[in-house]
């Protein structure tokens, strides 16, 4: 395994989209084209499956130095109401594109820290969204909570407006690691928020833990998992720390590269963690995720319904996902668009009745075929190109690229299909990279992606 890690540990995308953001064709993209794809997607899919909403709530009171998310650090809570007003106005700009009331299937509040907002303000946001929208019968609403500031009132208020799933950022319980990442948070806090959510009636509670953090050892990871097991979250994200300090303004500078575990150490942390999780009844879902067999993520994997988008893995797929808020990305299946990142610019554009996107990509037919293969690989660990609709001109070249990984035992391939082996699981990002025509057409001049392992 060691040699394979050395061979395949290269910078690579996490494939929350295809094409990945750095390869979007921003020159042929326009706001008009984006709106046309939203209209088309909405009219094709709203009455059949509903749409998804992702809402980015970017504020955090304190900066965790490992964090790669888009956030604004502030202790001033007077930012809440103006931000919510802008979100609701942005929503009204999308409503103008729709020819009927939208049916919301999935709604996710991400961040930043959604629980930075008061429970009343979060309810005001949700009630505002549903003034001109309906819920799907089997809707799934979820949010990200910070264990240090999620209160019983937050959990109750969101439960009352339909939320049944919450995920908490845990990362690691060790004090040295917590200090290095500037995120000191006790087990007791995590236990409290987990217990409260259960008492109130949440049916899926998730914890995010990370391996590969500065000063983190195998023992720290195993101890974190031991503690996690006592709380039995329904799902777990077990992320590899993405070290991307060259991305401006994300603050990953409180420690040196030499404080980070090596690629081999990271892999050992992951493999050992995975073993412990399996013993505790968790099944690995796609990449980085684990779930108990009672959780909807597990069931959706079993039914072949698992989907991956900018939020990571989701239990169901809608053709249209509208992202509201600074930096959010929307996906109409025919195109992607990202909102401006600066809060001031975001507010300014929305106030002037402009959908606040600054870049995007309209997918070609070929992009959509490759996207399906990458989704299949990331979600089901296999893909098939037996039908003509799954074939594309460069397929023989892709198959050639895959031969070496086949020889290394990472995948099994026939003329019409490919399956990732258990040995190949850690390398699924590398396997997807073989399909990534854009990546092979043009190697980026600057470093863009974290390492694959
Ligand atoms: C928006 S935060 C979760 C909510 C809340 N802000 C908190 O920290 O508890 C999203 C999650 O992304 C993960 N994350 C952030 N930066 C990461 C990085 N550089 N590498 C891997 N995972 C990261 C963390 O596990 C974090 O809990
Ligand atoms: S990990 Fe969460 S709380 Fe910490 S900076 Fe990132 S988004 Fe904010």
What are 55-83's pLDDT values in tens digits? Answer: 999 999 999 999 999 999 999 999 999 99
Report the pLDDT value the prediction gives residue 87, as an integer from 0 to 100: 98
Kindly give the interhelix angle for 80-95 and 343-351, rounded to the nearest 10 degrees.
50
Can you tell me the distance from the alpha carbon of 421 to that of 409, in angstroms, rounded to the nearest whole number?
7
Give the residue whose CA is nearest to atom 1 of ligand 1.
111
Beta strands in 385-452 (DSSP E): 411-413, 417-420
64 alpha carbon – ligand 1 mean position (Å) = 9
Using the predicted structure, report yes or no on whether residue 354 has a pLDDT greater than 60. Answer: yes
Helix/strand/coil for 449: coil
Task: Report residue 442's pLDDT band, with 50, 70 and 90 as the boundaries.
Answer: confident
Q: Which residues pair with 283 in a beta bridge?
A: 291
Q: How far is CA 329 from CA 76, 273, 277, in A?
A: 26, 32, 32
115 alpha carbon – ligand 2 mean position (Å) = 11
Helix/strand/coil for 382: strand
Give the number of other Cβ atoms within 10 Å of residue 186's Cβ: 13
The alpha carbon torsion through 373, 374, 380, 382 (nearest 10 deg) reads 50
Residues 385-397 have a mean pLDDT of 93
Least confident stretch, 88-92, 240-244, 272-276, 371-375: 240-244
Enter the tokens of residue 152.
């019983």
> Does ligand 1 have an atom closer than 6 angstroms to the CB of 144?
yes
3-state secondary structure 83-148: HHHHHHHHHHHHHCCCCCCCEEEEEEEEECCHHHCCHHHHHHHHHHHHHHCEEEEEEEEEEEECCC
Can you tell me the distance from the alpha carbon of 335 to that of 41, in angstroms, rounded to the nearest whole number?
10
Can you tell me the distance from the alpha carbon of 204 to that of 192, in angstroms, rounded to the nearest whole number?
15
Of the chain, the percentage scoring pLDDT greater than 90 comes to 84
- Please give the order of strands across the beta sheet that includes 357-362: 283-285, 289-291, 235-240, 204-211, 163-171, 134-145, 103-111, 51-57, 321-324, 329-331, 335-339, 357-362
> Does ligand 1 have an atom closer than 6 angstroms to the CB of 117?
no
Pocket probe for ligand 1: among 13, 67, 113, the residue whose CB has the most ligand atoms within 8 Å is: 67
110 alpha carbon – ligand 2 mean position (Å) = 10
Assess contact for 224 and 170: CB atoms under 8 A: yes
User: Mean pLDDT of all residues in the chain?
Assistant: 93
Of the chain, the percentage scoring pLDDT greater than 70 comes to 96
What are 183-218's pLDDT values in tens digits? Answer: 999 999 999 999 999 999 999 999 999 999 999 999
Can you tell me the distance from the alpha carbon of 78 to that of 356, in angstroms, rounded to the nearest whole number?
22
Pocket probe for ligand 2: among 113, 114, 143, 210, the residue whose CB has the most ligand atoms within 8 Å is: 113
Task: Report residue 441's pLDDT band, with 50, 70 and 90 as the boundaries.
Answer: confident
Pocket probe for ligand 1: among 169, 206, 224, the residue whose CB has the most ligand atoms within 8 Å is: 169
Pocket probe for ligand 1: among 16, 68, 213, 450, the residue whose CB has the most ligand atoms within 8 Å is: 68
Report the pLDDT value the prediction gives residue 193, as an integer from 0 to 100: 98
Can you tell me the distance from the alpha carbon of 25 to that of 360, in angstroms, rounded to the nearest whole number?
7
Can you tell me the distance from the alpha carbon of 173 to that of 220, in angstroms, rounded to the nearest whole number?
8
What are 118-156's pLDDT values in tens digits? Answer: 999 999 999 999 999 999 999 999 999 999 999 999 999
381 alpha carbon – ligand 2 mean position (Å) = 30
> Does ligand 1 have an atom closer than 6 angstroms to the CB of 116?
no
Report the pLDDT value the prediction gives residue 4, as an integer from 0 to 100: 75
Radius of gyration in angstroms for the set of CA atoms belonging to the chain, rounded to a whole number: 21
Within a 13 Å sphere around the CA of 3, how many CA atoms are in the beta-carbon half? 4
Q: How far is the first Cα of the chain from the last one, in angstroms, to the nearest whole number?
A: 12
Using the predicted structure, report yes or no on whether residue 445 has a pLDDT greater than 60. Answer: no
> 257 versus 53: which is more confidently predicted?
53
70 alpha carbon – ligand 2 mean position (Å) = 9
Query: For the whole model, what pTM was predicted?
Result: 0.93
What are 315-348's pLDDT values in tens digits? Answer: 888 999 999 999 999 999 999 999 999 999 999 9
Report the pLDDT value the prediction gives residue 11, as an integer from 0 to 100: 75
Assess contact for 377 and 306: CB atoms under 8 A: no
Give the residue whose CA is nearest to atom 6 of ligand 1.
113
What are 297-310's pLDDT values in tens digits? Answer: 999 999 988 998 88
Using the predicted structure, report yes or no on whether residue 6 has a pLDDT greater than 90. Answer: no
Task: Report residue 266's pLDDT band, with 50, 70 and 90 as the boundaries.
Answer: very high
Task: Report residue 448's pLDDT band, with 50, 70 and 90 as the boundaries.
Answer: low
> Does ligand 1 have an atom closer than 6 angstroms to the CB of 255?
no
Report the pLDDT value the prediction gives residue 440, as an integer from 0 to 100: 85
- The two most distant CA atoms of the chain are separated, in Å, by 60
Report the pLDDT value the prediction gives residue 293, as an integer from 0 to 100: 96
What are 163-186's pLDDT values in tens digits? Answer: 999 999 999 999 999 999 999 999
Kindly give the interhelix angle for 119-129 and 152-160, rounded to the nearest 10 degrees.
10
Can you tell me the distance from the alpha carbon of 288 to that of 313, in angstroms, rounded to the nearest whole number?
9
60 alpha carbon – ligand 2 mean position (Å) = 6
Assess contact for 358 and 24: CB atoms under 8 A: no
169 alpha carbon – ligand 1 mean position (Å) = 6
> Does ligand 1 have an atom closer than 6 angstroms to the CB of 67?
yes
Strands 59-60 and 329-331: unpaired
Assess contact for 437 and 18: CB atoms under 8 A: no
257 alpha carbon – ligand 2 mean position (Å) = 20
Q: Which residues line ligand 2 (CB under 6 A)?
A: 60, 63-64, 67, 69, 71, 111-113, 146, 169
């Amino acid at each position: 395994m060691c040699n394979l890690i050395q061979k395949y540990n290269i910078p690579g995308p996490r494939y929350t989209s295809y094409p990945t953001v750095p390869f979007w064709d921003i020159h042929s993209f326009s706001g008009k084209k984006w709106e046309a794809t939203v209209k088309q997607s909405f009219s094709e899919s709203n009455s059949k499956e509903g749409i998804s909403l992702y809402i980015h709530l970017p504020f955090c009171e304190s900066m965790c130095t490992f964090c790669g998310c888009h956030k604004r650090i502030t202790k001033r809570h007077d930012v809440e109401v103006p931000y919510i007003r802008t979100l609701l106005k942005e929503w009204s700009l999308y409503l103008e594109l729709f020819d009927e009331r939208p049916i919301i299937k999935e709604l996710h509040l991400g961040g930043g820290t959604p629980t930075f907002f008061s429970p009343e303000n979060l309810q005001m946001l949700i009630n505002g969204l549903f003034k001109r929208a309906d819920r799907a019968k089997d809707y799934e609403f979820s949010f990200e909570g910070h264990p240090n500031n999620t209160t019983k009132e937050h959990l109750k208020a969101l439960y009352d407006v339909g939320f049944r799933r919450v995920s908490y950022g845990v990362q690691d319980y060790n004090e040295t690691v917590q200090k290095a990442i500037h995120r000191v948070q006790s087990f007791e806090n995590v236990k409290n928020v987990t217990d409260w959510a259960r008492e109130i009636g949440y049916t899926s509670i998730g914890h995010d833990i990370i391996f590969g953090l500065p000063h983190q050892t195998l023992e720290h990871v195993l101890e974190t998992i031991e503690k996690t097991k006592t709380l039995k979250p329904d799902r777990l994200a077990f992320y590899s720390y993405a070290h991307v300090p060259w991305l401006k303004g994300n603050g990953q500078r409180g420690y040196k590269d030499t404080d980070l575990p090596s690629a081999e150490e990271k892999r050992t942390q992951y493999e050992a963690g995975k073993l412990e999780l399996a013993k505790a009844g968790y099944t690995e879902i796609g990449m980085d995720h684990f779930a108990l067999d009672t959780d909807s993520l597990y069931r959706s994997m079993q039914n072949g319904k698992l989907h991956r988008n900018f939020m990571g893995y989701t239990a169901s797929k809608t053709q249209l996902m509208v992202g509201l808020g600074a930096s959010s990305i929307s996906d109409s299946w025919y195109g992607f668009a990202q909102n401006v990142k600066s809060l001031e610019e975001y507010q300014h554009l929305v106030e002037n009745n402009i959908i606040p996107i600054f870049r995007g990509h309209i997918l070609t037919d070929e992009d959509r075929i490759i996207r399906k293969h990458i989704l299949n690989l990331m979600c089901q660990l296999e893909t098939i190109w037996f039908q003509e609709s799954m074939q594309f001109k460069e397929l023989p070249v892709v198959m050639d690229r895959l031969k070496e990984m086949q020889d290394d035992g990472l995948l099994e391939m026939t003329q019409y299909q490919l399956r990732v082996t258990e040995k190949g699981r850690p390398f699924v990002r590398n396997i997807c990279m073989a399909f990534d025509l854009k990546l092979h057409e043009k190697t980026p001049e600057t470093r863009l992606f974290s390492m694959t392992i």
